[in-house]
Structure 1
Amino acid sequence: MTRDLLSPAHTGCLQDFSSRYTRTCRLDAEQVQSLLYVLGTTLKANLNRSAPPKTKYFSVKCTDNVQYIISPLPQASSYLSPVRLKDNSVLLITMKEASTQENDNKLSVWYYAANKKVLDKAILHLTAVDISLDVDADRDGFVEKNNPNKNAWKWGPRGHGAVVLVNCDSETLYRRKPDYKRERILKSSDVKDMSPMVLRTKGPPKLPEGYKLVLHISQSDGENIRVFITSGERYPLVLNSEVLSKEIPYLGTDEIMFYVEGVSFPDKDFDGLVHINLSLLEPIGEGIPETPIFTDTVVFRVAPWIMTPNTLEPVEVFVCSTKDNYKFLSSMQSLVDRCGYKLNICYEYMNRGDRWMQDELEFGYIDSPHHSFPVVLDSPRNGKLDDFPYDVLLGPDFGYVTRVPSRKDVSSLDSFGNLEVSPPVTVNGKHYPLGRIIIGVAFPTASKGRNMTKMVQNFLWAQTVQEPIALYSDWLEVGHVDEFMSFVPAKDRKGFRLLLASPDAGYKLFKNLQNDGHGDAMLFEEIPDQDSISVNEILDDKQLQAENNYVQSCIDWNRDVLKRELGLDDEDIIDLPILFKLLEYRGQYRAAAYYPDMVNLIVLGRNLGIPKPFGPQVNGVCALEQEMVSLMGNLGLTCTFIDDFASYHKLLGEVHCGSNVRRAPFDFKWWNIEM
């Protein structure tokens, strides 16, 4: 094992030779060499290869800005005298400061014969430059100088690596489209949606003749990001999928600001990581390609799209206005006003009679250390509401993303009543601080079941930070998870409760009513043109009970999955008394709610908007409402019952299906997740 010897004139600088970038250079005894050196790197010269014949010894001289190490270590007595040349003698060279002019530093190697007679010398003229491509690698909102971890990504609060947003909002409403689809930056405000990247240089006023700085990316990275440069008040495009490399001016001691823009979200074939490289090219000769002598690399991770659970604070509520939902709309307006939020109404000229606001879109957001904004995920259902997310929501600081599978692959399960997210949970010691996405699919053994399209599932899985859970929802006529489950906030335990529809709880409530002498109490009495039915008649209907036994088994399957995947105990779950019925279509039997499905509710802080169930009246009070008020009141939640029977329930939907809520983002930063 050899040891390195630091020249005695430059002791105390051994750490300067441990750089990650070592470059081999040539010494030439026949002509003076000029070399460009980049601070922080190490030059390595093989002394034996450049020595004249019969050389036995050598010595090194240099100017004050130059440092060197001789390897292997000479004898201590040789510090001030010529050193014996060995087959593996190597000179490691660094410099302390950037040059002020070209060739202002020098190193010379003197070669000696056995009698210490000088045979020749190799002279190296050196120009030192400091070059650093910098990003916000420590994720504090500021671009620091030459972070040692800027070329790698690590999750967690002690992690590193820069973040870039997909620039999917639209700074202008004229000819609206996501900004990343525009050829140029239309407004200077658009750069706030991008990540800053700084080229810092220090050295002589210009590089030696023929040297170049080139910014470059790979073809795959070019499909996922774009890079702009600041030029006065303009921001010319530098790199994209068509231009993978670009010469960048060297300005001496100065800085150049770039802005990096995400073009694609993480997906099946893109893990979210992108690399940007800055290389210094050295000329060899006329007609000969330049060679890279130094490359600085930075890494970005594209910010994922993040969903928001019911436990986060609402910002605004969205509903549709149709020719038959005035009563529903009036109740929603009253509830939202009372809660102090904003109600946005999509009128018929835009919704064209499509009332299912929940099914058309899902609200989420993207976040970076320097900026964040909401992003709507547009479902592939392509109903008559299809234009609403793009034509109305997309705008300044409001992004848009969608996935467009083949129409033949799209089913009811691709509507976003079938897309939910849990509050934060801890499962077997693993923390999910942003919760877990929940989707509904076909039963694992089903050969002809409906599924959420693979393209949408791939997108959701690729976001990484809210690992999805697949539930069995194909047993439902519509097939959405929001038909049998929801989350509400709670001040104890895990901070929430999971609400599950439960036919067993429904039959238990009705049997108690019968035992208490209320078997003649009627459901649906208050609904015009709707046949009412008594508690006794429901309990006597054996076919209905068999159908609900089947439904309960389907919900119990999902209950077990949710307990396992969300780390829940039975005390974290509340069973709501809801009955179902089976509907037949083309030989397939699937379930729908028998009366308005109270689990399909809207959560506005501590206030709940619940489908009015029109249950059996006992002493002038609906027994189903009374049970719901009791269960939710124990959590400190207030219940408001909304009549959606004619305008939603009879069309196989409820309050949640007909509304949507944009919520405030998490305080927790996604890059701090421990992976």
Structure 2
Amino acid sequence: PIILADTNRDGVASNADAADKAIWTTIRGAIFLPNIGDSDGRCPATGNNGDPLSDTEIAFCNDAAGNILYAPEYLAPLRTLPVSGVSNTTYGTVSAEPEEHASKVRIFWYRGPKGSESYAANWTYVPPTLRFNADALTAGLTLGVDGRTLVSSPDSWDGTIMIRFSATNPAVNHTADDVVTLRLAPVLTHHHLQRVDRLISVADNGQMAQKTFLTELDAACAASGLTSSLTLFNGTDIWAQDFFEPAYASMPGPKNSIISVRVHLRSAQQARTAGRQLFTQPGIRGKGVGAYNGAASHPSALGWREINSGGNIETIPPYVSKKTGKAYPAGRVIMAKHDEYLPSDGMLGLLQAQWGGIQEPLILQGGWLSIGHVDEWISFLPKNNSTLGWTISIADTTSALDVLRKAEKEGNGKVKARSTPPAPADFSGIPGFGPDDNITISGLLADKHFIKIQEKCQKYISDSLQTLLDETGVPGGDVVRIPMLFDGGPADGGLGTGGGLFGNEWGDDGTPPRYGPFLANVSPVGAFYPAAINGIVIGQSYIAARAYGPVVNGTDIIQAAVEEAYKKANMTPHFVNDFHSHHLFGGEVHCGTNTLRDTSAKWW
């Protein structure tokens, strides 16, 4: 007996796959997908009594939860060659090994006419006890395999499975068999070079600031060439970037095609109920679009720690490490630690476990920021005339101070340092970072503590940048420096020894603190002006927050400097007002949105 899979990764199982099919390597070996979508929208959000299902229950239901096939297009191909000369009593079996991981996959047998493989009803589930008769063995079996779950930890299953095809002649008590090895496709996060298919945010729910944000965001999307309409979550958690991380898994398809599924990773924050919408909101899951709750249910995901938000998961585009020589064909994740505290093992462990670290997270220091997400000071932009095809963009306090000093030198020191827009009539937010809006350019530059903050922040930024430069080989001259200033909360102005705007104590209910831990002797900071670095890359367009800096002769000089920086990088910037919707609450445009990007890139 002979069983074949797509070992050579050309999208079909054929005789060309016979060599070394039982040996799986990163460059040769069959791949299969986690088929965890919700094709028919059948998965409920409430029980029979109308009560909401628990987090575990809503996540349990997906296309692969049972033994019925809903989406045959996501099966990895298997076939057995016709077995000749068998007796009428000979029977065959097909099973997955090792036994402890067999339940993580499903095997199906196609019993329909040729050309009708897309009809799910033509496929029959194959339990290990199913016996194929002599006629089926003589004809050869058309089979498919999919996964029920993800690889979730470096210490557990690595996604490898062996499919054994056995033929037994009971008359002579003889069994012959053959095996083929497959591995579950890694779940990969997106990088900024991938095309944006859909932009996601949160509905305004009657809030005027959010309504303004969405209106301007919609216009910026249209100007960026995005034709799909905004997808909106509901609820009061406006941080669409933070309660989930869009990801995908893919495998080779016939005729050089790519077959892929989307997997929305709920953030590792058990107390963050907005993540439930990945499972409960109509239209989020679907055929080939699933969601995963494993990180949120991990013991280390207790509470709502900001370190575990999706904004603390970004991805370097594809490169080869200059330090180790390791290739990252799908890009590499970056995350921030807070002092020495790492993100939850629920998410960090999942990312580390994918194919032995195909996007192994690179950890940077974020303990100097109030929120502490990597998207607060780092991004990546396309750069077509470079070796890598991309470059680093980074927050830069030096260039921002230069803008203000130039204005003061030219006699504009009495201009207000900020041109804050009027607050909406229904606004009742918290005080923003930094001094009041009446301070002038000269007053700001004369504030020695404020200047010291910029110097300290620039040191932390420069340390991160050097790590990225050493790792990726991006030339320093290619780095796009985006003007940005920082400030702390009203307690002590930030980066001193006081409490800052956000506390880091445990909650009264015994849950972990939302913020921190921070670096020793540091009261952390946030953006003084709305931060353009925290924006959305859509091809050669870039959507960012409007700066509301000093207005000199009718021009917002911080805004103009930001715009100039992006235009020099061949990006076309589009700006939106997020001042009262997001900025005053510690985030910007990227924080308030998310993107579903193209999944067709070949990474194997």
The TM-score bracket by the shorter chain reads 0.7 to 0.9
Of 463, 485, 489, the residue aligned with 1:557 is 463
* Aligned-partner SS, 1:201: coil
Q: Which residue of 2 aligns with 1:605?
A: 539
CA offsets per residue over residues 57-107 of structure 1, 9 Å max, x none? xxxxxxxxxxxxxxxxxxxxxxxxxxxxxxxxxxxxxxxxxxxxxxxxxxx
* Aligned-partner SS, 1:315: strand
Following TM superposition, by how much is the alpha carbon of 1:260 offset from its aligned partner in structure 2, in angstroms?
0.6
Of 430, 437, 440, the residue aligned with 1:531 is 437
1:477 lines up with 2:370 in the alignment: yes
Q: State the one-letter code of the partner of 1:332.
A: L
* Aligned-partner SS, 1:636: coil
Distance 1:572 1:291, change over 3 A: farther
Following TM superposition, by how much is the alpha carbon of 1:220 offset from its aligned partner in structure 2, in angstroms?
2.6
Of 131, 151, 158, the residue aligned with 1:271 is 158
* Aligned-partner SS, 2:547: coil
Q: State the one-letter code of the partner of 2:441.
A: V
Following TM superposition, by how much is the alpha carbon of 1:330 offset from its aligned partner in structure 2, in angstroms?
0.9
Q: Which residue of 2 aligns with 1:194?
A: 75
Of 515, 522, 545, the residue aligned with 2:451 is 545
Q: Which residue of 1 aligns with 2:143?
A: 258
* Aligned-partner SS, 2:380: strand
1:175 lines up with 2:25 in the alignment: no
Q: Which residue of 2 aligns with 1:386?
A: 275
- Distance in 1 between residues matched to 2:326 and 2:83, nearest whole Å: 47
Is the CA contact 1:169–1:179 (under 8 Å) kept in the aligned structure 2?
yes
Q: Which residue of 1 aligns with 2:347?
A: 456
Q: Which residue of 2 aligns with 1:331?
A: 216
- Distance in 1 between residues matched to 2:306 and 2:470, nearest whole Å: 27
State the aligned residue count: 516
- Distance in 2 between residues matched to 1:314 and 1:137, nearest whole Å: 31
CA offsets per residue over residues 21-55 of structure 1, 9 Å max, x none? xxxxxxxxxxxxxxxxxxxxxxxxxxxxxxxxxxx
- Distance in 1 between residues matched to 2:383 and 2:149, nearest whole Å: 37
* Aligned-partner SS, 1:355: coil
Following TM superposition, by how much is the alpha carbon of 1:526 offset from its aligned partner in structure 2, in angstroms?
4.4
- Distance in 2 between residues matched to 1:320 and 1:344, nearest whole Å: 13
TM (norm. structure 2) is 0.81
Q: Which residue of 2 aligns with 1:310?
A: 192
Of 618, 626, 630, the residue aligned with 2:552 is 618
CA offsets per residue over residues 600-646 of structure 1, 9 Å max, x none? 01111111111111111122111111111221112221111211101
* Aligned-partner SS, 1:248: coil
- Distance in 1 between residues matched to 2:260 and 2:473, nearest whole Å: 30
Distance 1:173 1:513, change over 3 A: same
Following TM superposition, by how much is the alpha carbon of 1:649 offset from its aligned partner in structure 2, in angstroms?
0.3
Of 185, 207, 225, the residue aligned with 1:340 is 225
Q: Which residue of 2 aligns with 1:416?
A: 310
Of 227, 230, 241, the residue aligned with 1:358 is 241
CA offsets per residue over residues 341-373 of structure 1, 9 Å max, x none? 2454455xx521221111122222211112223
Distance 1:250 1:199, change over 3 A: farther
1:124-523 alignment, distance < 5 Å? 131-145=1-15, 147-156=18-27, 160-175=28-43, 177-185=61-69, 187=70, 190-204=71-85, 206-207=86-87, 209=89, 211-217=90-96, 218-232=98-112, 233-239=121-127, 244-251=128-135, 253-267=138-152, 268=154, 269-281=156-168, 283=170, 292=175, 294-322=176-204, 323-324=207-208, 325-345=210-230, 351-370=234-253, 371-381=259-269, 382-391=271-280, 392-402=283-293, 403=295, 404-406=297-299, 407-408=301-302, 411-428=305-322, 429-443=325-339, 446=340, 449=341, 451-463=342-354, 464-493=357-386, 494-523=388-417
Is the CA contact 1:465–1:670 (under 8 Å) kept in the aligned structure 2?
no
- Distance in 1 between residues matched to 2:360 and 2:111, nearest whole Å: 42
The structure with the largest alpha-carbon Rg is: 1
Is the CA contact 1:364–1:374 (under 8 Å) kept in the aligned structure 2?
yes
Is the CA contact 1:351–1:384 (under 8 Å) kept in the aligned structure 2?
no
- Distance in 1 between residues matched to 2:330 and 2:277, nearest whole Å: 27
* Aligned-partner SS, 2:180: strand
Greater RCO (Cα-Cα under 8 Å, separation 6 or more) = 2
- Distance in 2 between residues matched to 1:516 and 1:182, nearest whole Å: 72
- Distance in 1 between residues matched to 2:336 and 2:141, nearest whole Å: 49
Distance 1:300 1:614, change over 3 A: same
Q: State the one-letter code of the partner of 1:630.
A: E
Q: Which has the higher mean CA deviation after the structures are superposed, 162-171 or 211-220?
A: 211-220
CA offsets per residue over residues 356-405 of structure 1, 9 Å max, x none? 11112222221111222322222133534223222331101222223222
- Distance in 1 between residues matched to 2:595 and 2:503, nearest whole Å: 35
- Distance in 2 between residues matched to 1:335 and 1:572, nearest whole Å: 26
* Aligned-partner SS, 2:92: strand
Which structure: greater strand fraction? 1
Following TM superposition, by how much is the alpha carbon of 1:540 offset from its aligned partner in structure 2, in angstroms?
1.0
1:619-638 alignment, distance < 5 Å? 619-638=553-572
Is the CA contact 1:319–1:343 (under 8 Å) kept in the aligned structure 2?
no
Following TM superposition, by how much is the alpha carbon of 1:520 offset from its aligned partner in structure 2, in angstroms?
1.8
Q: State the one-letter code of the partner of 2:276.
A: D
- Distance in 1 between residues matched to 2:25 and 2:273, nearest whole Å: 43
- Distance in 1 between residues matched to 2:134 and 2:337, nearest whole Å: 56
- Distance in 1 between residues matched to 2:503 and 2:586, nearest whole Å: 18
Is the CA contact 1:216–1:246 (under 8 Å) kept in the aligned structure 2?
no
CA offsets per residue over residues 217-256 of structure 1, 9 Å max, x none? 32233132111223454433223xxxx5543323253122
Q: State the one-letter code of the partner of 1:479.
A: G
- Distance in 2 between residues matched to 1:580 and 1:341, nearest whole Å: 32
Is the CA contact 2:272–2:303 (under 8 Å) kept in the aligned structure 1?
no
- Distance in 2 between residues matched to 1:656 and 1:230, nearest whole Å: 45
Is the CA contact 1:308–1:666 (under 8 Å) kept in the aligned structure 2?
no
- Distance in 1 between residues matched to 2:246 and 2:461, nearest whole Å: 26
Following TM superposition, by how much is the alpha carbon of 1:282 offset from its aligned partner in structure 2, in angstroms?
5.1
Q: State the one-letter code of the partner of 2:249.
A: I
Q: Structure 1: any 5+ residue segments left out of the alignment? A: 1-130
Is the CA contact 2:547–2:558 (under 8 Å) kept in the aligned structure 1?
yes
- Distance in 2 between residues matched to 1:556 and 1:636, nearest whole Å: 23
The runs of 4+ residues in structure 1 deviating greater than 6 Å are none
- Distance in 2 between residues matched to 1:610 and 1:626, nearest whole Å: 13
- Distance in 1 between residues matched to 2:401 and 2:332, nearest whole Å: 32
Following TM superposition, by how much is the alpha carbon of 1:650 offset from its aligned partner in structure 2, in angstroms?
0.5
Is the CA contact 2:101–2:157 (under 8 Å) kept in the aligned structure 1?
no
Following TM superposition, by how much is the alpha carbon of 1:575 offset from its aligned partner in structure 2, in angstroms?
2.0
- Distance in 2 between residues matched to 1:618 and 1:520, nearest whole Å: 10
